[in-house]
Structure 1
Amino acid sequence: MFPADLWSIGELAEHAGVTVKTVRFYSDRGLLPEAARSAGGHRRYGPEALDQLRLIRSLRTLDLPVSEVGRILDREDALEDAIAGQLKELGSQLASLRWREAALQLIRDCTVEERPDRLRLIGAVSAPPSTAALARFWRGVLPARLPARLVSAILDEAVPQPPADPTPAQVLTFARLHALASEALRHTENCRSTARNHEGDLRPAVLYEGLGEAYALASANLRAQRPPHEDGALDCFVSAHARARGLRDTPDFRRQLSGVLAQTADPVMARYWQLTKELSASPSGPPEPNMGTAHYWLHTALDSQVARSAP
Structure 2
Amino acid sequence: MNDRDQLLTIGQLADRTGLSVRTIRFWSDIDVIPPTCRSAGGYRLYDMEAVARLDLVRTLRELGLDLDTVQKVLTRQCTVADVARAHMRALDTQIRSLQLRRAVLRSIAYQGSTTEEMMLMHKLARLSAQERQRMIDDFVDRTFDGIDPQAPGARIATSMRQLPAELPDDPTPEQVEAWLELAELVGDASFQERVREMAVAGATPDAESGSQPYDPALVLEHAGRAVAAGISPESAEGRAILDQIVDPRLPARDRTRVADTVEMFTDHRVERYWQLMGVLNGRPPFPPSVSAFEWFIAALRVYLM
Structure-1-length-normalised TM-score:
0.46
Q: Which has the larger radius of gyration?
A: 2
